Structure 1
Amino acid sequence: MKRRIYWLLPDPASARRAMHDLVQARVDTAHIHFAAAEGMDMTGLHAANAWQTSDVVHAAGSGLVIGGGVGTAVGLVTALLFPLAGEAPEWGTAALLAVLGGLIGAWSASMIGISIPSPRLARFEGAIGRGQILLMVDLPPARVQAIEALLRTAHPEARFEGEERLVPALP
């Protein structure tokens, strides 16, 4: 598990300096994410993608559970009431429909979730709208304090905005 720390930076130049400092501190660029207002110049920054800025992961998980449940119910009814051959229930059909229901549910819900902003980032919308840049860094727990100290020292213009525990290691 990793921890995600949030910082607000006032402008792209400050964000680029922070990116440089984090890379120099041996933080992998894949774990550094910047979110800014649409149209802002993000040259030299590792922009956050849909995994960080949308609700796609939560939506896909919900779709998997709901679709799997509906698929299981339909599969059981189909297996018990409409056997394909003979009088015995078709349990393979029930399992197949449960898996298909889960896959279709996860896929369709993720298509919706990708267009919904992440609730985790809702508190930053105002600052981003005013031109600030959100920095998200995913770190092993043992490195959090050192990186926070580095950013506090090297970037007094930046504002620490908190830490999230239990962020999955991937993506």
Structure 2
Amino acid sequence: MRRRLYFMLPSVASGRAMLDELLLARIEERHMHFLAREGTLLPDMPDLNALEKTDLVHGAQLGMLIGGVAGLGAGIFLVMFPPDGLTLRTVAILVAALGGAIFGAWASGMNAAAVPNTRLARFAERISRGQVLLIVDVPVRRVKEIESMIERRHPEVSFGGEEPPMLAFP
């Protein structure tokens, strides 16, 4: 299990130094991501990927839920009031619910892929002023260790928050 920690760094140079220190603290590079103004990150600093920059995952989840409920309702309606000459079974309800969930996830995910991540909106103003956001996923048992290390070595860094435990698999 991992927790996602957010830190606001004053500059790209500070972010590069933080990258080195986290690597020395045995945090893998794949668990660190930086977000800065367009074109300011150094090439060796890991940037956010498309899933992290957009609301794609949240949108697909919401669309799957809404589409599944709508499909379930449509399936129940079709079984209760079938078209003339057609007999539908209970499995039609499940098929309609599954089809609705798949369509809802796809449609909502496509829309959400164009929307910036709402979790990162609180950092947008500071990023536009030249600061750098560091997102690091650390094992739960090391959260306090990493927070205190960053606080000791980089007093200029401000803590931006913490998210609940993440799933163990990436």
- Superposed pair shares fold, TM > 0.5: yes
1:38-57 to 2 correspondence within 5 Å?
38-57=38-57
1:16-27 to 2 correspondence within 5 Å?
16-27=16-27
Query: Aligned residues, how many?
Result: 170
Equivalence for 2:34: 34
TM-score normalised by length of structure 2: 0.88
* Structure 1, 104-113 or 47-56: larger mean CA deviation: 47-56
The amino acid of 1:91's aligned partner reads T
Structure 1 unmatched runs, 5+: none
CA contact (8 A) 1:34 1:47 kept: yes
Equivalence for 2:144: 145
Identity of aligned residues (%): 38
CA contact (8 A) 2:33 2:47 kept: yes
State whether structure 2 residue 64 is matched by structure 1 residue 64: yes
The amino acid of 1:22's aligned partner reads L
State whether structure 2 residue 128 is matched by structure 1 residue 132: no
The amino acid of 1:13's aligned partner reads A
The alpha-carbon deviation at position 53 of structure 1 amounts to 2.5
Change (3 A) 1:104 1:86: closer
CA contact (8 A) 1:32 1:136 kept: yes
Equivalence for 1:5: 5
CA contact (8 A) 1:62 1:109 kept: yes
The alpha-carbon deviation at position 34 of structure 1 amounts to 0.8
The amino acid of 1:6's aligned partner reads Y
Structure 2 unmatched runs, 5+: none
Q: Distance in 2 between matches of 1:33 and 1:86?
A: 55
Change (3 A) 1:168 1:55: farther
Change (3 A) 1:166 1:85: farther
CA contact (8 A) 1:84 1:90 kept: no
Q: Distance in 2 between matches of 1:126 and 1:101?
A: 38
Change (3 A) 1:168 1:114: farther
SS at match of 1:116: coil
The amino acid of 1:57's aligned partner reads V
SS at match of 1:143: helix
1:108-119 to 2 correspondence within 5 Å?
108-119=107-118
SS at match of 1:135: strand
CA contact (8 A) 2:55 2:116 kept: yes
Q: Distance in 1 between matches of 2:165 and 2:6?
A: 14
The alpha-carbon deviation at position 149 of structure 1 amounts to 1.8
The alpha-carbon deviation at position 143 of structure 1 amounts to 0.4
Deviations 1:77-111 (A, max 9, x none): 22332269764x32222211110110110111111
The amino acid of 2:28's aligned partner reads D
